[in-house]
Homo-oligomer: A and B are copies of this chain.
Amino acid sequence: MLTQLNKMEEFKRTEIASLGEFGLIDHLTKHVEVKNNSTLKGIGDDAAVLDYKEKQVLVTTDLLLEGIHFDLTYVPLKHLGYKSAVVNFSDIYAMNGQPKQITVSLGISKRFSVEDLEQLYAGIQLACDVYHVDLIGGDTSASLTGLAISITCIGEANKEKIVYRNGAKENDLICVSGDLGAAYMGLQLLEREKKVFAGEKNFQPAFEGREYLLERQLKPEARKDIIKELAKRNIVPTAMMDISDGLSSELLHICKQSHTGCRIYEERIPIDYQTAVMAEEFNMSLITAALNGGEDYELLFTVPLAKHDDISALPGIRIIGHITAPSLGAYMITRDGAEIELKAQGWNSLNEEN
């Protein structure tokens, strides 16, 4: 998939000014076709028009800024487009809903050519195709500095099926899909290669055997499949979030909003082999990467204890602990039986990066 995304045609450079703002939007969106019945009117008017009938409407939004959320030295624009869309879909799945439409607003400096934006849009379009989502509008304007991408995703859900963060109950099982920490390790790997070989042209970085880490960082997927499996088995989680800021941070959100505590077990936290090898190589704490790394876009959810067997039968889901009374706090039990209090480190970009 990564290779497929990398097939870029970088020969031509058309200046954006040659198309103008409206011309550019027309050019980038000319292949957009409507896929969902709920999309009555997409691009081309003051607002898009949607018909959700008896369904509830879910809305989520993200603003991604160059230098803060992404680094174009190692992120291809097509991947960036794909990821920007997918992380929004992930928020809708985390409500137990289905993403249906997105709007995309771009702020672009003249460093970017029309072909660059075609790549970005190709990634967004691919994500829309894979997840069956309609691109219904947006806004394109100049930016004095880097690239700014603002995406809003609209989705649908049945009222009785929506899962909030505040429904976790004492003794509920805490579940996680997939594995954690790989996206963070992928980022460390990209950052290292960038630093070590800065300025050296035609350099092939040492990514072999680490494709999974790169894919998790550069081209994450939203867990549509898990939502589908849960629905098929009539399991409605009591609380759910997607893991974008790290397991610790998200779990604390659920505990805070549900007025509960929690216990999770270090040995139960799912971690991929490549993540572990990389942490070793970097001499970093593996469990810290899994707890606080972020950008995993896996689902974190709680289910009643009675669902234990149903959940255990689900491939790709790990039960990592249980919800407790609020007075017991939020702790991880380490392999040697010690209790470590969970902290919301996450990606606090407002502190770290500025």
Contacts and interface: CB of A to CB of B under 8 A. Distances in A.
A243 B123 CA distance: 32
A346 B141 CA distance: 13
Q: Which of A46, A240, A351 has the most CB of B within 10 A?
A: A46
A98 B6 CA distance: 44
B41 A164 contact: yes
A248 to B, nearest CB: 13
Contacts of A95: 45-47, 49
Contact of A59 (B50, B69, B145, B257): B50
A101 interface: yes
A14 interface: no
A137 B61 contact: yes
A274 interface: no
B59 A154 contact: yes
Nearest to A136: B59
A350 B107 contact: no
A150 interface: yes
A53 interface: yes
Contact of A139 (B56, B63, B110, B144): B63
A107 B148 contact: yes
A70 B140 CA distance: 16
Interface string A327-354: 0000000000000000010101111011
A301 B164 CA distance: 42
A59 to B, nearest CB: 5
A353 B51 CA distance: 38
A107 B149 CA distance: 11
Interface stretch (A16-24, A75-83, A204-212, A263-271): A16-24
Contacts of A52: 52, 57
A68 B105 CA distance: 14
A24 B349 CA distance: 12
Interface in A69-99: 69, 91-92, 94-95, 97
Nearest to A138: B61
Nearest to A22: B344
Contacts of A44: 165, 257
A349 B60 contact: no
B354 A67 contact: no
24 contacts: A20-B350, A21-B348, A40-B56, A44-B165, A45-B164, A46-B91, A46-B241, A47-B60, A47-B91, A47-B97, A47-B153, A51-B57, A52-B57, A61-B139, A62-B139, A63-B105, A65-B141, A65-B142, A65-B143, A67-B144, A68-B143, A144-B146, A148-B148, A148-B150
Given A65-B144, A141-B349, 11 more contacts: A20-B348, A22-B344, A40-B56, A45-B165, A59-B152, A59-B154, A63-B106, A63-B107, A141-B350, A142-B354, A154-B154
Interface of A: 16-17, 20-22, 24, 40-41, 44-54, 56-63, 65-69, 91-92, 94-95, 97, 101, 103, 105-110, 136-146, 148, 150, 152-155, 157, 159, 162, 164-165, 240-242, 257, 344, 346, 348-351, 353-354
> Closest 6 CB pairs between A and B?
A150-B150, A63-B105, A47-B60, A50-B57, A46-B94, A142-B354
